[in-house]
Structures are given as C-alpha cells and as structure tokens.
Chain A
Amino acid sequence: MLLGIDVGGTHTDAVAVSRDGVAASCKVRTDHADLLVSVRGALENILSRVDRAKVRRLNLSTTLSTNAIVEGRTEEVGALLIPGPGIDPYNSMLCRHFHVLSGSIDHRGTEVKRLDQAEVAAAVDSCLKADIRVFAVVGKFSTRNPRHENAVRLALCRGEGACARGDFLTLGHELGGRLNFPRRMATAFFNGAVWRLYNRFADAVEKTLADLNLGHVKVNVLKADGGTFPLALSRRMPVQSIFSGPAASVMGIIALCDITHDSVILDIGGTTTDIAVFAGGAPLVEQDGIHIGSHPTLVRALKVHSIGIGGDSALTVLNGVVRVGPNRLGPAVAEGGSVPTLVDALNAAGLCALGDAEASRAAVAALARTHGREPEALAKEAVDAAAGSIHAAVREMTAEINDRPVYTIHELLEGRRIVPKKVYVMGGPAEVMKMPLFRKFQLSTEVPPDYAVANAIGAALTRSTWDLELFADTEKNVLFIPSLQHRENIPRTYTLEEARRDAVRHLLGHLGSLGVVLDSAEAQITRADSFNMVDGLATVGRNIRVKCQVKPGVAFRLTGRA
C-alpha cells in the first residue's frame, strides 16, 4: 500500500493505492498556518480505512517551501561568492549579506586567480557577527573545479564534519553540473533560506508518523521534475521540493492512462489551466529551471505552462467578441458569485448543471442583454472561446518546444518534432469541456477516471528520480561529478564509452545508497559528447560531458481496471 499526500493551495488531497486501485481517498482544507495539521488530518482520515501495517511508503508533495518564500518567512543567508571576471555579480544580488570574493576559475576548471584567504576570513567574520548561521557558497565554474568553494567551506567549518561556525551551508557544485552561475547562486540562496523551516517540518512529519505507528514507512518528497527523493536527502536540498504540485497532477495522469503517443495534458482548475506536453509516453522536462520569485534557478521541473482560463474565469464581451479570462472575479454565479464565469456559460449552454444552474442562466442572459445578444448563443461562444484559447496556447507551446535551440547539424535537420496525437483532460470542468475541446483539437480526447484526486494518486505512485552530470578532461586527467562531489584521476585513454558507464554506475550507486534500488536500464543518458582538444596540430586530450538521469515514472499504473 502506497500513500500519497498533495498539500495544495486550497485542498490537501490524500490517497492510499495498491495494484488493485485506490483503496481510500480524501480531500481536506489546507490549513496554511500549520501545514502539519492538514497532513495529519488527511493521514488519519485515510488510515481509518486501510490497514496501516500494509503501508510501505508515503510520498509527500508540499507547498511549504514555496509558501515560505512567497510570504517572506525565510532565514537570512550569508552569500559568499567567487564570480571571477564577467557580468557584475551585484546584478543578481539576493540578500544583504552578499560578499564577493576575488579568485577565479575558467571554463576548463583551471584556476586563473587564487582565492584570497584574508578576504574569506573577513567575509565569514562579518556574517558571524551579524548572527548568520546559514550560508551559500558559490563560485563561477565551480562545477568544473570546486576548489574555491571547498576552501571557503574549510574556512567556515574549520574542517569539522558538523560545521563549527555555521548550522548549514550549500556549496554551488552540490546542486548539479549545469552551467549558470546566477541560477546556481539563487538556488543555493533559496536552499539555505528555507533550510531551517523545512527541517522543522520534516522533524514534525517524522514524529507524527511515529505517533501514528507508521515509523516503518519510507517517506519520500516530491520534486517539480516528476520524481521524488528520500526525506533524509530533502533535508539537505529543500529547494528541490518547491513547485511540486503540477508535477503530481502530471504523474497522476501517467498512472491513470496508458500514454504512448505525443500528447497534451490539460488540467483545468478554477483560475488556470495547466498544460503539459508528452513526447511519446514521457513528460517533457524544462531545459532550464523554474523561477522562484523573479529569480531563475536550477530547480528542474516538468514543462508545465499555465494560462488564465479556468472554471472561475470571468466572461467579457469586447467589440462583439466573447472572451473568457484571464481575470478571475470570484467564484461562478452558480456558486454564489456575482460575475458570470466559464462554469456559468457551461450551465447556460445546457452542457451541465453545476450548483445553481438557474442563477447561471439569469446572469448570462443579463450579460447577453447588455450586448444585444442571444443568451444561449453567447454561452456557446464563450465555451468555444475558452476551448479556442487553450488550443492556441497548446499550439504555441509545441511550436516553442520544436523551436528550442539545438547544437548539432544532425539534430537541426533530423531532430524529432512533437506532434500531439491525443488530449487528456482533468480538473473540475473536464467532463463538460471534453467535447468543446475535441472540436478545436480534432484529436482523440480522453477524461481519465479518478481525475479529481489524480494529483494525490500521482504523488503516491511517483518514483525517485535523480540526475547527474559527468565532466572529464583527459588532458588534465580528471573526472568530476559535481552533484556527488566525486573527483577522480583518469588516464589519458579514458573514453566516452567509459564515461557513459561511469555516469550510470555513479547514478545508480548514489540512489542505492539512499535506499532506492533500480535496474541499470532505468538510467538514461540524455547527452554524451566528446570533443577532441587540439593544441597546435596535435590532439592533446578529450573533453567529455555526459548527462544521465532516471526518467520520471510511476511505480505501477492503475489502467485496465474497471
């Protein structure tokens, strides 16, 4: 039995699933003041209906970190940066305690300028004096050579395992091998900013589970990239738990439907419609990371695009054209609101009867009168407009995906293009919007069963994912996997083939050490390049880059049952 809890903005959804299907599910209101109350409430509700001894795993998707950042309930972080030459780092100044240290490392990981130890000591002292206990240490190209970041850690922690002078520090290269110094800076900063709050929550969750006799349950936390990671690991990387909500819904669809073609997933909510695109059966991951506040980060996420069209989006008539959204002016008239919305249009068009359908008809009729229109025609036009806007947004999104930059002639000329062949719709108005959407898309359109708690099902069934970048330079005889802080010497003869094998081995080994056992077939190489490095007329070595990931996936599917 697997439990899934998705703490969302309005509701907290929970399910217990086994291969036989959904054993129990519930929806409780989210208590923003104390998320643990919601988690505990949902858990108790579910446990009253299933045998708790059979529960093996709990996957948790929470808005804790997101809310903390949005509401400014974060801790002050001391940022110690080694930017070297280039764009002025003060352009991405994130916090008050922002110390720029001299020293630089180039794109190949060569130290160009040494770190100034006196400067480091002064910056650390200044932070400590201001009672800073959490630090972000980030250097430009530290993913090629972490020497400067490690030296700052040494200065701060005095070489002790548990840091002597700080409670927690994030080193830029631990966040992965991707290049982007400002994003690495922001990611390390936010990781520190939510660290204490997140760990208190994690402590409370563990205590609650013990109280509920669920101490044996393995707890994983959802990430935005459609995977989970163990609670113990999330304590060091809380930033990765941000924005996992849309990913839970997308993973739910995977569990509920047998997706094999290029597809579009639409989650029509109250305020927005979330659009995700699948290539073959797999969800697409955003190439860059998500934005937190206005800061781009390295946090990977499924590619989900939100548009301002939902059940509560207001209807407007402008120059004779009926529009839906993007404004949301309270709930639908059918639910006691004052401005007619998409839900009211669906009611007035006779497509459904949600809430007070009579009130919907009256409100739409009033709107039609002021514009000299026939009410039912206006309602139908509004429904069409909503479907049309969603269709246009999907087209734009697929065009953008197909237009993304590529770097080889092969990919440019033979690159695979995504052409959606199927549409999956979920969310409140899914059933009623099915036909209007089908008319626009002219593609097979499906509404999965259990779509109301698909997000919690997704949370329950999502597997662990991880990814790493391996970087090898045979001229310098060095191999480096930043996220694992693994550095080893390699011979001049080291090849791309060996690099591929090593990347997979390290990825699986790392997950294994976290208790996640996977077959080597689950690890997927997403990028493998080897460049001959030439000096004069002779090849002096190879510059090898390999990216490896465990694809987002579900433990099992719930398809094929009644």
Chain B
Amino acid sequence: MLKAVNSLGIIFFPAFDWSISPTHPEREERLLYTQDQLKEEGLFDIEGIREYKPGVASVEDVERAHFCFPEVDAVTTRSHLISAGGAITAAKLVMDKVHDRAFALVRPPGHHAMKVVHGSRGFCNINIEAVMIEWLREHYGVRRIAVVDTDCHHGDGTQDIYWHDPDVLFISLHQDGRTLYPGTGFPKECGGPTALGRTINIPLPPGTSDEGLLMALDRVVLPILADFQPEIIVNSAGQDNHFSDPITNMNITAQGYAELNRRLAPHLAVLEGGYAIQGALPYVNLGICLAMAGLDSSGVREPGFDPERLRQPRKVTDYIAEVCEIAGGLYFNPPKEPKDGVFADKWFVRRKNIYYDTDEITEAQTEMLRLCGNCRGLLKIESRSTNNPLCLGLEIPFHACDECRDLGYKILEESQLKGEFRYIQFVNKREKEFVRYGF
C-alpha cells in the first residue's frame, strides 16, 4: 500500500455552484474533471493524504491584506471568502503540524488582486495567498515567507502587496508580459526602496518547455531561496503554462509541474489560474499532489503528450539563460534606487493607474510609505476609481515603531475631521485594530 513520504493535506473546494458568468473560464465546471481524476486515482486513500473542507475567511482576515473600497462585502462574494479561507485552512494544517505540506485546491484564484481592491481584475477579487500570509503572521508570528508564483500570468497583485515588504520574497515565473496579460513582470520591477531585490521577476518567452522552467528554477529560484532562508515557502500554483492551455503559449507538461514542485518542495501550494480544465488540470493537479507528498509521479501523462512537438528550441533556451543571469543578479546585487516613485520628505511616493479588466474599472492611486528607518513604515494609500470617489487606506505594520503608530492614528483623526475621503479603511496590525469609516 502507498504511504506518503511527506504527509499532505488537500483542501479541495471546487465551488460547484459559483461562476463569474456561465461561459466564463472561471465557472462551475473548472475543477470537475480534476475531482474525477483525483477520486479515480484513489488519491485520498493513500496513507498520509487527507481531504479537508475549507474555512471561511472573515472580514478582518481580508482587511489584513487589502484596502477594500467601499468595503470587503461589496467587492467579494462568499466564494472568495471560502477560497481565501481554504488557503488559511491549508496554512493551519502545516503550522499545527497536522501535515508536512498542504495544497489548497480552491477557486476562484487571487494573484492579480492588488493592495487596493475596487473590484475584480484578472478573475481575482482578493489575493488568497496574501490573506493567508497575513493570517500566518498574525496567528503564528511567521516572519520570513517566500512566494514562488508559477502561474503563466505575472502575479502583479501579490507583487503590489509585498512591494515594500523585505520579509516576503516574491518570485514570479511567467510568460513574458509583452505577449500576455497583465503586461508586467519584467526584471527591473524588483521592489520598493525598503525591499529592493525582494521582488524577482523571471519572464519566460513563449514556447518555454519543462527544460526552460526547471532551468529558471535551478539557476535563479533555488539559490535565492537557499540564501533568503524562508520559514515558509508558498507556491502560487497556476497551471496555465500547460501546453494545452487555451489562453497562453507555453509548453509545460504535467511532468514538468510535478518536477518543479518536487525540487521547490513548498510547504503550501495554492491553486491559481489554469483553464485547460479537461486536458491539463486533472493531470497537473495529480502530479503536484504526488510530488508534494513525495510519491512517484512518473506515470502521470496527459493526452496529447508528444515530447518531440514540445521540445524547446535552442534560441528559447539561450534567451532563458540570459534572463536567469539578470534576474538572479537583482536579488544578490539589487539596485540602489527603486525604478519609479519619488522621495518627498520622509515619504516615498508612487502614483499608479490600475485597470480592472474583469469589472472594467479604472483606478488612480497615490501610495505613500513612511521611511522611518525603524520599522517597515506606515503605509498610506489615496485611491479613486470609476466605482468610488476618493478613499483612504492606512496601515500600521506588524512590529511598527511608536512613531509610525502614533502618526497613523493622527492621520486617521485628521482625515475624519477634514472629510475629504468618502471611505477610510484603517488597519493597525500591531495592536490588531480595524476601523472602517464612511458608512
């Protein structure tokens, strides 16, 4: 009888009663065949592998990661809270040592959701990894976390949330932004002034196969992780790099995904995108589960697998080698100055325009980080969108210094008095205080 080498908890929640719209890729049917495959393989009968039902994330859980305008309930549905709750359940299983590893096979995904949320972009409303990470920090005091995003699309949401955070290392492997949504994720995007080199982007050219993906993993990701020494490694496990995916142009196979997870050995994996729901997901998810559990996955083979057709052209290999060179260097020798934004007084200021493709919302925001030198710094974001008038988000980080904390409360009070903001969301992570204002 099979026994898992690493015990594995799987939170499987296909949300069979929820879709963005009936024919949208993010629909009821998405994990149906994955469930069929996992059940037919008898995965949950393997000793050490167990299935769990997800918890439901609370409003505070979401607010720890996001500023939601006008409020959390307005930008999320129950399915988003369950999806994030599933990621939290996975984290809890590992932290409580119930399992060595856990995989949140949940939908909808979240890695395009940024710090501020006015609606849905890239099928994502709230960032389920970020909600999970902030929950881990609050409940278990975890400090150093690495997120390796292997979705085919750049994880621009996760990047935005942890742009200024030196304790969360974000590495994204994705199809080059010049050829795919969301059009970002170039090596020069490498973090804010307090976290330079803690955001690493590895854009891969169309046509990249297992060989190229594993090359980037071996040459860039693994050496960086060895140096960063995270307490927890999270894989944002999107599966749209698969050669059969309808909306991308990569050539990764189920074997490639399994091998990636075997080498990366993440404590936690969270499902992101992946819409070849019949030809890829059942096999890729099976491969990931087996690899995470430390079991043989060499027999996993998807229909249409043809190594000849998927062979990576020489020039693609050479190009990836160059990208690896650049990306790796950015961690070990980060630039002295951030690529955008200005320093004003004790603040670092960035202005951003964000488009929410799924909900067709445009947002303009001014992000300000206080560079106090003693803590991660008070974060202040002013945002307006086609959905909401001017709103304010204020965040006092974990382990904030007294100065930043006091200033946070002062700004909150002044903003309430002046009344220039329609909605205010205030989060004090140090003393666990949440304030919503404007209703």
Contact = CB atoms under 8 A, between A and B. Distances in A.
A67 to B, nearest CB: 23
Contacts of A537: 23
Contacts of A27: none
Nearest to A530: B28
A110 B279 CA distance: 11
B416 interface: no
The size bracket of the interface on B is 35 or more
A448 to B, nearest CB: 35
A11 B1 CA distance: 34
A118 interface: no
Given A91-B1, A181-B41, A531-B29, A412 B18 contact: no
Contacts of A538: 23
Given A108-B33, A409-B15, A181 B303 contact: no
A216 interface: no
B299 A88 contact: yes
Interface residues of A, number: 42
B27 A412 contact: no
B53 interface: yes
B28 A531 contact: yes
Contacts of A179: 36, 39-40
A91 B51 CA distance: 20
**Best-surrounded residue of A106, A140, A183, A294 (most CB of chain B within 10 A):** A106
Contacts of A403: 52-53
A273 B249 CA distance: 60
A140 B32 CA distance: 17
A85 B23 contact: no
Given A85-B301, A407-B13, A534-B27, A107 B45 contact: no
B14 A407 contact: yes
Most A Cβ at <10 Å: residue of B12, B45, B300: B45
B1 A92 contact: yes
Contacts of B82: 409, 412-413
Nearest to A140: B40
A412 B16 CA distance: 11
B362 interface: no
A230 B221 CA distance: 63
A110 B304 CA distance: 13
B133 interface: no
A296 B42 contact: yes
Contacts of A408: 15-17
B41 A413 contact: no
Interface in B299-340: 299-303
Which of A88, A110, A536 has most B Cβ within 10 Å?
A88
A294 B40 contact: no
A561 interface: no
Contact of B278 (A88, A108, A295): A108
B299 A87 contact: yes
Contacts of B51: 405
A543 B42 contact: no
B374 to A, nearest CB: 43
B289 to A, nearest CB: 10
Nearest to A84: B301
Nearest to A539: B23
A266 B338 CA distance: 69
B37 interface: yes
Interface string B70-86: 00000000110010000
A108 B37 CA distance: 10
A92 B46 CA distance: 10
A87 B290 contact: yes
A543 B278 CA distance: 12
Interface in B1-60: 1-2, 12-18, 22-23, 27-29, 32-33, 35-37, 39-43, 45, 51-54, 56
A295 B2 CA distance: 11
B37 A107 contact: yes
A444 to B, nearest CB: 31
Contact of A86 (B15, B52, B299): B299
B29 A182 contact: no
B296 interface: yes
A405 B29 contact: no
A212 interface: no
A180 B53 CA distance: 20
Contacts of B299: 85-88
B369 interface: no
B45 A409 contact: no
A529 interface: yes
Contact of B42 (A87, A409, A539): A87
A107 B282 contact: yes
A404 interface: yes
B286 interface: yes
Which of B1, B12, B42 has the most chain A CB within a 10 Å cutoff?
Answer: B42
B52 A405 contact: yes
Contacts of A296: 42, 45
Contacts of A204: none
Most buried by B among A91, A288, A538: A91
A406 B42 contact: no
A534 B78 contact: no
Of A404, A412, A539, which is in contact with the most chain B CB atoms at under 10 Å from its CB?
A: A412
A538 B23 CA distance: 7
B296 A88 contact: yes
Given A409-B79, A412-B53, A534 B1 contact: no
Contacts of B40: 86, 107, 140-141, 179-181
B57 to A, nearest CB: 12
Contacts of A409: 15, 17-18, 78-79, 82
A407 B278 CA distance: 19
Given A106-B303, A404-B53, A539-B23, A532 B39 contact: no
Interface string A277-296: 00000000000100000111
B36 A107 contact: yes
A164 interface: no
Contacts of B1: 91-92, 294-295
A486 interface: no
A405 B53 contact: yes
Most buried by A among B40, B282, B299: B40
Contacts of A407: 12-16, 35
Given A85-B301, A86-B300, A543 B29 contact: yes
| Interchain residue pairs A-B with the least CB separation, the first 9 | A85-B301, A182-B42, A107-B36, A179-B40, A179-B39, A408-B17, A531-B29, A405-B53, A91-B2
26 contacts: A86-B40, A86-B299, A87-B41, A87-B290, A87-B295, A87-B296, A87-B299, A107-B33, A107-B37, A140-B41, A179-B39, A179-B40, A403-B53, A404-B53, A407-B13, A407-B15, A407-B35, A409-B15, A409-B79, A412-B13, A531-B29, A531-B32, A532-B28, A534-B22, A534-B23, A543-B32
Given A86-B286, A407-B14, 14 more contacts: A86-B40, A86-B299, A87-B41, A87-B295, A92-B42, A107-B282, A181-B42, A407-B12, A408-B16, A409-B15, A409-B79, A531-B32, A532-B23, A534-B27
